[in-house]
Chain A
Amino acid sequence: MNDLCFLTAWSRLDDTGFANPQSRTAWPGERSPDGPLRWSWFSAAPFERFGRLDLLSQYAVAAAELALQVQPLSPAEAAGAALCLGTAHGSLAADCEFLAGANSAAGPSPTVFSYTLPSAAIGEISIRHQLTGPSLCLLCPPGDELSPLQEAVRLLIQREARAVLCVVADAVPDLYRRAALGAAATDRVAGYACAFLLEAAPPAERSVLANVSVVKSSAAGAGEMSSLEQFTIGCSHGGATLCPGEPYRRAKCVLGESIQTLSALEMLCRTLADGEAAARLELPGLRGTGETLAICREANQR
């Protein structure tokens, strides 16, 4: 069984804007801080229903679109491709909206109820890109949101799919932040998303951005990430160090423990975007597996 697979596309949306290997764009000034996303920011291709999606689906669909703009899948590839969605807070934004409606004179909304399952985001991405292979939606504890990447690799290694689009997304409503996290109320949309296209054997004409493998270790603590400092030990990227800046402090305010995920994500994307330096990044695997996910790129691999 070959434990190696290949990363061929990625994307991310965060506090600063959105990016994929071909572009990096700051959020447009028209963006309302607590408003929904606008499809025209991401793509010229039509998607009339985008405005009706819940916030989680909007982030997830946008991340998928940005990644697959870089490496479009042929219809045959899409038909067998798996979709793995990871999220910490799932459909919480839609849950809160549904509850608010159900407790008002308007009554419960069937449209909103349809989005009170995170698998709705899986459905939206699958429909748009005609992904008819295995679907997997994982709900991860805050701070563990990148573990779906490891499970996506597992789907490839165990030959359940030849390509997996792994989307990690979260959207936390202000209502919940005030009530449950004790955070100061803000008008911000606390959302982020990233997407990774992983393939078992990409066609020769497709650029490989990095090699990805699951590394098993019997060492105590392997696969654990108990602190940000511990995570940085696993990184080697031309001497760069992980310096959480202002965007991450804001993110910590609204997403609590997800600070680690956002920091790891930023490091991962920075590593992938750098076409010059060789890099090896070790992401903590799912706790309890004793595994780490190794993402390695050679200099000028792209």
Chain B
Amino acid sequence: MGDYWTICAADLVTALGDDPAATWNAIMSGACGLRPLKSLAQGDGRTYVAAEIPWLRGSGAPAPGLPADCSPAYALTRRVGRRALAQAGPLLASRTGLVLATTKAGIDDLERQLVAPGPAARSHFLPARLARDLATDLGLGGPVLATSNACASGLVAIAQAARLLTSGSCETMLVIGVDILSRFVLAGFSSLAALSARPCRPFDKLRDGLSLGESAAAIVLRRGPWPTALATIRGWAVTNDATHITAPSRTGLALTQALQKSLSAARLAPQDIGYINAHGTGTVYNDETESLAIYSVFADSPPVSSLKGYIGHTLGAAGVAEAILCTEVLRHGVLPASLGFENLGVSKPIRLLTGHQPAPGVNHVVTIKCGFGGINAAMILSRANHE
């Protein structure tokens, strides 16, 4: 067995639940978090569908102990970070670091700052400041980094944390992924005509765009074994299409290489993989490219699903959030259906799940995330204590 990293603890807030178990149970019940969005008016007359955390913009302070003007992104990340660290048990805080993954968390603070300039102390539109304030708040003395690798941010952050652990720079890493719904992001994706008017339908013949979601997700990562391990990370790879800054490569070559390299890093063969958690945004080109890459590596495709139909596309949080849901797959031995999928709408015959499928023997899963800038990431998670 090669080197590996253990997920010791995890916490997750999505539109479907306030912790990993709640989100997983909601997925198992077939719940969909995507609804017409009411709280973020765009003024363009369109109705957006999105997966909104129900309580996040409610009345009152965002969380106990936080100032009333604290950004939702800060409140969410603090919440999941604290709970994940508490779940992990006693850790040496001075040897624990943080990697934060996000695309635009806290961006609404920028608009406020530009309209009414003032002390920027609690403004978190700069991810590095959000990470630094979080680490201080959580009492972490290890290295602190923020990454922004578009929708691959979460997996890139986990990989970066694993690198720091491998080099002995710290003993424990907290990885947090966060992105929240904002007027900025909604306006941007709307201007790109990338949003579907209805809940997204990844890989389906009738897919016509993505549905945004919001989430904060945290994992505690260590190198080597851990008594209460949720899952292990065996390998990963990140590649770049080098073709376009927003559109995926039409050939899927770089994503194919990411999948192959992640298998090689994990010392596994394609047939060892029991489930693929696809990026599956529901856009025409992403899903087609992903199907090309999956098919070229896994000619006999393992079961595939996208979780975007349940919790929306949570952007920079997606890598961490969906990695946590992959640990649930491994722990429960059930593969989730690809909500919104009915008829195959991609050119390669990959095996999309139309219903939940028991898979008690699944030991290894792959999660895929791709983002603007041509970035592709693939990571392999394995059942805890699986040799």
Summarize A's interface: helix, strand, loop or mixed.
Answer: mixed
Q: Select from chain A the residue with minimum beta-carbon distance to B183.
A: A102
Q: Does A117 contact B (CB under 8 A)?
A: yes
Contact check: which of B117, B146, B244, B375 meets A178 at CB < 8 Å? B117
User: Is B363's beta carbon under 8 Å from chain A?
Assistant: no
Q: Is A184 an interface residue (CB 8 A)?
A: no
Question: Using Cβ atoms and an 8 Å threshold, which residues of chain B touch A139?
Answer: 126-128, 131, 145-148
B194 to A, closest residue via Cβ = A110
Within 8 A of A (CB), among B89-148: 97, 103-104, 107, 110-111, 113-114, 117, 120, 123, 125-129, 131-132, 140-148
Asked if A265 is at the interface of the complex by the 8 Å CB criterion, the answer is no
Q: A89-B126, A135-B375, A141-B128 are in contact. Are A289 and B245 (CB under 8 A)?
A: no
The answer to whether B374 and A175 have CB atoms under 8 Å apart is: no
Closest to A290 in B: B169
Query: A158-194 vs B: 1/0 string, CB under 8 Å?
Result: 1010000000000000011011101000000000000
Q: Is the CB of B149 within 8 A of A288?
A: no
User: Are B187 and A132 in contact, with the CB atoms below 8 A?
Assistant: no
* A155-B163 in contact given A122-B375, A141-B129 (Cβ < 8 Å): yes
Q: Is the CB of B245 within 8 A of A138?
A: no
Most buried by B among A88, A123, A179: A123
**Is A118 interfacial (CB-CB < 8 Å)?**
yes
Taken together as a complex, chains A and B put the C-alpha atoms of A123 and B238 apart, in Å, by 13
B residues within 8 A CB of A124?
A: 245
Which of A142, A182, A291 has a CB less than 8 Å from the CB of B169? A291
List residues of chain A with CB within 8 A of the CB of B224.
none
Q: Do residues B132 and A136 form an inter-chain contact, with CB atoms below 8 A? A: no
Distance of A248 from chain B, by nearest CB (Å): 22
Known: A114-B246, A175-B114. A180 touches B148 (CB 8 A): no
Contact across chains for A108 and B187 when beta carbons are under 8 A apart: yes
B240 touches A133 (CB 8 A): yes
In the complex, which of the residues A107, A117, A135 contacts B238, with contact meaning CB atoms closer than 8 Å? Answer: A135
Question: Once the chains are docked, how many angstroms separate the CA of A154 from the CA of B161?
Answer: 12
Whether A77 sits at the interface, judged by CB under 8 Å, is no
Of B132, B169, B372, which contacts A117 at CB under 8 A?
Answer: B372
Which one of A18-26, A34-42, A92-100, A201-209 is at the interface?
A92-100
Which interface class (under 10, 10 to 19, 20 to 34, 35 or more) fits A?
35 or more
Residue of B nearest to A120 (CB): B245
B167 touches A157 (CB 8 A): yes
A127 within 8 A of B: yes
Q: Is the CB of B147 within 8 A of A137?
A: yes
Chain B residues with CB below 8 A from A126, complex form: 240-242, 373-374
Known: A102-B184, A141-B128, A289-B164. A180 touches B113 (CB 8 A): yes
Report Cα–Cα, A127/B245, bound state, in Å: 8
The residues of B that contact A180 with a CB separation of less than 8 Å are: 113, 117, 120, 123
Q: How far is the CA of A127 from the CA of B240 in the complex (A)?
A: 9
CB of B329 within 8 Å of the partner chain: no
Check B170 for interface membership: any CB of A closer than 8 A.
Answer: yes
Q: Please tell me if B354 contacts chain A, counting CB pairs below 8 Å.
A: no
Shortest distance from the beta carbon of B166 to any chain A beta carbon, whole Å? 6
- How far is it, in angstroms, between the C-alpha of A158 and the C-alpha of B237 when the chains are bound? 13
Contact B143 A127 (CB under 8 A): no
Residue from B141, B189, B239 having most chain A Cβ neighbours under 10 A: B239
**CB-CB under 8 A for A110 and B169, given A119-B150, A130-B242:** no
- A134 at the binding interface (Cβ < 8 Å): yes
Asked if B125 and A288 sit within 8 Å, CB to CB, the answer is no
- List the A side residues contacting B246 at CB < 8 Å: 114, 123
Cβ–Cβ contact B170 & A289, under 8 A: yes
Shortest Cβ distance from B132 into A: residue: A141
B237 lies within 8 A of A119 (CB): no
Q: Does A214 contact B (CB under 8 A)?
A: yes
Query: How far is the CB of B158 from the nearest CB of chain A, in Å?
Result: 12
Asked if residues A99 and B147 are in contact (CB atoms below 8 Å), the reply is no
Question: What are 11 A-B contacts with C-beta separation under 8 Å?
Answer: A95-B184, A99-B110, A113-B192, A117-B150, A126-B374, A133-B240, A157-B167, A180-B113, A214-B167, A288-B169, A290-B169
Can you add 4 more A-B contacts, CB < 8 Å, to A136-B160, A151-B145? A107-B191, A135-B156, A179-B117, A286-B144
| 9 nearest A-B pairs in the assembled complex, by CB-CB distance | A119-B373, A123-B245, A113-B188, A123-B373, A288-B143, A289-B169, A139-B146, A110-B191, A134-B238
